[in-house]
Structure 1
Amino acid sequence: MEPIQVGQYNTLKVSRKVDFGFYLDDGAEGILLPKRFAPKDLKIGDELRVFVYHDSDNRLIATTQEPKAVVGEIARLKVVSVTKQGAFLDWGLMKDLFVPVSKQISGMRMGGSYLVMPYIDEMTGRVAATEKIENLMSNDELTVKEMDPVDLFVYRTSELGYVMIINNKHIGILHGNEVFQKLEIGDKVKGFVKTIRPDNKIDVVLGKPGFSKVEDEGQKILQLLRENNGYLPYNDKSDPSDIYDFFGMSKKAFKMTTGNLYKQKLISFTQTGIQLIES
């Protein structure tokens, strides 16, 4: 069987039942799934998707609870206690997630929320977390190319706009002049790779690449027209901020999308707005 992935989800088979829960087959003595986390109809031989980590006695344990982040993912988590050795964060499980002092940037405070990434500590094999996320990212060997759709995480602001973490692997820049929605540190958004420069620096853009994005925005405009009796008082003379407030897109995207809908004979332009063409 495949090795157990600590700090990740594993699909394991129930090997035996005990008074306090079930043991799941790990090729050895088994991993305990406490009774309170077991589905009511669970029986020997069933396969179950569980999250595996170490309990307070350093034993592997399984749970059907879902952590707010697995190893290699980023999340904003709240500090629930602080000691001289480090801080403990609420990550959605019975056992809190430990952040050593050495993995903190400027010291964590009780009640504060911080961006962290769970990792496997090499010394103990346990799941811990680090606030020094950018150190774990690398653009030396890229796993993306231009126009690839990617998952983006808003890591911090910069003079250019936002520093984004790409697919939990790489660092990229989202330029401020290409942002047409409200972003907060810690937000997870979809985007695509716009440019990869010779030094492997990456520029990203929100949304989908190319014509597919126009198609998506077009469906949004058509739906809004249907919800407003086939007419909307917006056109290429409208203020960009008014267009963004109503449609959630830039004026450039609005003009490109409505132009595409006009070519398809789905809308017409009036002196004061756009009109849905009845089919």
Structure 2
Amino acid sequence: MAELGKLNTLEIIKETGSGFYLDGGVLGEILLPFTNSPLDIDIGDELEVFIYLDSEDRIIATTQKVLGAVGEFVMLKVKQVNNVGAFLDWGLDKDLLVPYSEQRIPLQVGREYLVAIYLDRIHGRITATTKLDRHVDNTPARYKIHEQVEITPVDPTDLGYKVIVNNSHWGVVYKNEMFKKLNRGEKQKAYIQKVREDGKIDILLNEPGHGKVSDFSQVLLSELNKHGGFMPVTDKTDPETIARLFGVSKKTFKSAVGQLFKKGIIDIVKTGNVGLQVKDSE
């Protein structure tokens, strides 16, 4: 069944002078204009399209690359503001409306904002809002420990960084786990550390477990070789510098150093110009 505001794979059922018609199930036949359709398609083919409402509120399909869909939280730029609200560029011919009632603060032309895209059930239109809370799922989260997820950073807090997990639940990356920079709205993969009894989710940016150390040991060795086989860092280097240089915790760094040292791949220079030295680079 075709869903408004989302990507759908639909069958082409006929061709007319204005374009192809797709089988939209309960939504009926949906027009895919020639201007938005590939050249090498025919009746009976299945095509991935985005379904939305055109400027006359008719259901229409497009193969244009859309920047966000219903149920997603995305950063979008304001193209214009008028007496109705702010209009965002989301990659389609028709811009996405953020009504004034859905703006936490007045939106300004040219600036980007993190919005939730949703289907306004009253008017049947795809709409956006900067009031994110009501679109985050408050039902108990069902994630497994160390499960890989996608996070959308929202705001820095005293504890760390507030994020949305899989476009669904609130989570937090604590300061002591922030080994790489987080930017508002910039999605990235992360891992479940813990789901608390109150439903809050603790997030790890780096993959947990031994495999992570093994992977990073190769990254560390590569970085050493890029710097001529030597870098002025040791297990005494402060965690902030380690995070800035390598994007990992000091614990992971020390484990990788120990792994490479035990294998006889590197030396730890403790006098003079202290640091890590690849053995065949002396």
Q: TM-score, normalised by structure 1?
A: 0.89
| 2:10 and 2:22 in contact (8 A); partners too | yes
Structure 2: how far apart are the matches of 1:125 and 1:216? 49
Q: Structure 1 stretch 103-112 or stretch 168-177: which is displaced more?
A: 103-112
| 2:21 and 2:30 in contact (8 A); partners too | yes
Q: CA 1:245–1:142 in structure 2 vs 1: closer, same or farther (change >3 Å)?
A: closer
Counting matched residue pairs gives 276
Does residue 273 in structure 1 map to residue 253 in structure 2? no
Match of 1:247 in 2: 246
Match of 1:225 in 2: 224
| 2:74 and 2:185 in contact (8 A); partners too | yes
Match of 1:17 in 2: 15
Match of 1:129 in 2: 128
| 2:87 and 2:95 in contact (8 A); partners too | yes
Match of 1:47 in 2: 46
Which runs of no fewer than 5 residues in structure 2 stay unpaired? none
Is the partner of 2:98 in helix, strand or coil? Answer: strand
Q: Structure 1 stretch 255-264 or stretch 41-50: which is displaced more?
A: 255-264
Match of 1:197 in 2: 196
Structure 2: how far apart are the matches of 1:245 and 1:161? 16
- Identity fraction in percent: 43
Which runs of no fewer than 5 residues in structure 1 stay unpaired? none
Q: CA 1:29–1:245 in structure 2 vs 1: closer, same or farther (change >3 Å)?
A: closer
Is the partner of 1:32 in helix, strand or coil? Answer: strand
Deviation at 1:250, TM superposition (A): 3.5
After TM superposition, list the pairs within 5 Å mapping 1:145-184 onto structure 2.
Answer: 145-184=144-183
Q: Structure 1 stretch 111-120 or stretch 208-217: which is displaced more?
A: 208-217
Q: Structure 1 stretch 17-26 or stretch 60-69: which is displaced more?
A: 17-26
| 2:206 and 2:248 in contact (8 A); partners too | no
- Which residue type is aligned with residue 144 of structure 2? K
- Which residue type is aligned with residue 174 of structure 2? H
Q: Structure 1 stretch 215-224 or stretch 147-156: which is displaced more?
A: 215-224
| 1:139 and 1:201 in contact (8 A); partners too | no
- Which residue type is aligned with residue 256 of structure 1? S
Structure 2: how far apart are the matches of 1:249 and 1:234? 14
Deviation at 1:44, TM superposition (A): 1.7
Deviation at 1:158, TM superposition (A): 1.4
Structure 2: how far apart are the matches of 1:240 and 1:209? 18
Deviation at 1:191, TM superposition (A): 1.5
Q: What's the RMSD between the two structures over aligned residues?
A: 2.2
Is the partner of 1:174 in helix, strand or coil? Answer: strand
Post-superposition, which runs of at least 4 consecutive aligned residues in structure 1 deviate over 6 A?
Answer: none
Q: Structure 1 stretch 249-258 or stretch 93-102: which is displaced more?
A: 249-258
Structure 2: how far apart are the matches of 1:246 and 1:204? 21
After TM superposition, list the pairs within 5 Å mapping 1:24-173 onto structure 2.
Answer: 24-27=22-25, 29-173=28-172
Q: TM-score, normalised by structure 2?
A: 0.88
Structure 2: how far apart are the matches of 1:105 and 1:215? 45
Deviation at 1:239, TM superposition (A): 4.7
Q: CA 1:214–1:41 in structure 2 vs 1: closer, same or farther (change >3 Å)?
A: same
- Which residue type is aligned with residue 61 of structure 2? A
Q: CA 1:226–1:97 in structure 2 vs 1: closer, same or farther (change >3 Å)?
A: same
Q: Deviations over 1:119-152 (max 9, x none)?
A: 1111232211111112221343212133222211
Match of 2:215 in 1: 216
Q: Structure 1 stretch 257-266 or stretch 159-168: which is displaced more?
A: 257-266
Is the partner of 1:214 in helix, strand or coil? Answer: helix
Structure 2: how far apart are the matches of 1:138 and 1:36? 38
